């Protein structure tokens, strides 16, 4: 049954329950991709250091309508409600794996130390939907722009998607400049997303861009004729378009 599902990733430039309290549009969109009454959703908050308050907010958001669980890589020795025992067996049988924000460098380091990078790759291949925001978006790509300590730098992600990624594109003006410079200097062409915009990939290709905010944008950024060009992408606003007609691009 699982073999029939295509690999899918929904990468948020920012948004979802961790950034948009009261706006469930992006999270609802991810759940709508699951053909099951109560989707099985597992939260992976590694990039935040498994912050307790973050785990609590996940359960508050999803527990009423999903079968929820979370993975803690910091408290594997203590039964604090996180998945115990065989992480791979648990993750491979989820419908959605939701990766929280934080530091993508810390995230990747901890995942590799626990072999979670391999598990997530298998899950993706089997059609478990991978989603996340910020670090939880960057991690799926070949290369990613991060600006956690000091100036923005490029880090190698898991490489499930053979593109680069830049998040919070509207939030930090210097990131936009840096990303274009990086791509000009040979970083893999890729996708930039504003807070509230989500890139939905089926297999390795972008299928569509959806948004939880009428004005959220996304771009494909690639060199063309010696210049780095930001190609705006069509974005479907998931909310009530009638209420904000002017903003639907």
Partner 1 sequence: MSIRDHLRDPQIFAMGGGGFTMEPSNPALDDFVLTLADRPEPRILFLPTASGDPTAQITGFYARYARRASATHLSLFRRHGSARTLADIVLEQDIVYVGGGSMRNLLAIWRAHELDELLAEAWRRGIVLAGLSAGAMCWFVGGVTRSGGPLETIEGLGLLPGSFSVHADGEPERLPVWLAAVRSGELPGGWAADDGAGLLFRATRMVQVVSSRPGAAALRVDAVGDELVRHRIEPELLGVAPTIAERPVPDEIRELRELRQAMRR
Give the interface with partner 1 as residue ranges (CB under 8 A).
Answer: 47-52, 73-77, 84-85, 102-103, 105-106, 108-110, 112-114, 148-151
Which residue among the candidates 137, 168, 211, 212 is catalytic per the annotation?
A: 168
Q: How many CA atoms lie within 13 A of 70 on its CB side?
A: 28
CB of 136 to partner 1, least distance (A): 13
**d(C-alpha 53, C-alpha 42), whole Å:** 16
Q: Is 168 a catalytic residue?
A: yes
Label the pairing between strands 129-133 and 235-237: unpaired
Q: Is 90 a catalytic residue?
A: no
Q: Which is nearer to partner 1, 41 or 73 (CB)?
A: 73
Of the two residues 8 and 142, which places its CB atom closer to partner 1 in the complex?
142
- Compute CA 2 distance to the chain's CA centroid, rounded to the nearest angstrom: 22
Residue 72: CB minimum distance to partner 1, A: 9
Name which of 22 and 85 has its Cβ closer to partner 1.
Answer: 85
Q: Catalytic one among 103, 134, 164, 212?
A: 134
> How far is the C-alpha of 92 from the C-alpha of 26, rounded, in Å?
23
Shortest distance, position 9 Cβ to partner 1, whole Å: 22
Q: Quick one: tokens of 220?
A: 């494909």
Q: How far is the CB of 184 from partner 1 (least distance, A)?
A: 22
Structure tokens at 211: 């948004």
Q: Which is nearer to partner 1, 22 or 79 (CB)?
A: 79
The DSSP annotation for 126-173 comes to: TTPEEEEETHHHHTTEEEEEE-SSSS-EEEE---SEEEEEE--TTT-H
* Catalytic annotation, residues: 134, 168
């Amino acid at each position: 049954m699982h073999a029939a599902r295509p690999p899918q990733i929904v990468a948020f430039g920012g948004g979802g329950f961790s950034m948009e309290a009261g706006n469930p549009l992006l999270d609802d969109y991810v759940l709508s991709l699951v053909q099951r009454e109560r989707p099985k959703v597992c939260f992976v908050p590694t990039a935040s250091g498994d912050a307790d308050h973050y785990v609590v907010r996940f359960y508050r958001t999803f527990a009423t309508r999903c079968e929820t669980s979370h993975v803690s890589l910091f408290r594997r020795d203590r039964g604090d409600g996180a998945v115990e025992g065989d992480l791979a067996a648990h993750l491979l049988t989820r419908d959605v794996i939701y990766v929280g924000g934080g530091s993508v460098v810390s995230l990747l380091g901890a995942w590799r130390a626990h072999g979670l990078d391999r598990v997530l790759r298998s899950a993706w291949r089997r059609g478990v939907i991978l989603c996340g925001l910020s670090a939880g978006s960057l991690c799926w790509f070949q290369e990613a722009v991060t600006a956690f300590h000091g100036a923005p730098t490029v880090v190698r992600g898991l490489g499930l998607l053979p593109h680069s990624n830049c998040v919070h594109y509207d939030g930090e003006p210097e990131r936009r400049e840096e990303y274009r410079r990086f791509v000009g200097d040979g970083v893999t062409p890729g996708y930039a997303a504003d807070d509230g915009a989500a890139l939905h990939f089926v297999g390795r290709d972008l299928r569509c861009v959806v948004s939880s905010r009428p004005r959220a944008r996304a771009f494909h950024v690639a060199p063309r004729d010696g210049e780095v060009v930001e190609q705006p992408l069509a974005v479907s606003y998931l909310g009530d378009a009638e209420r904000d007609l002017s903003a639907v691009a």
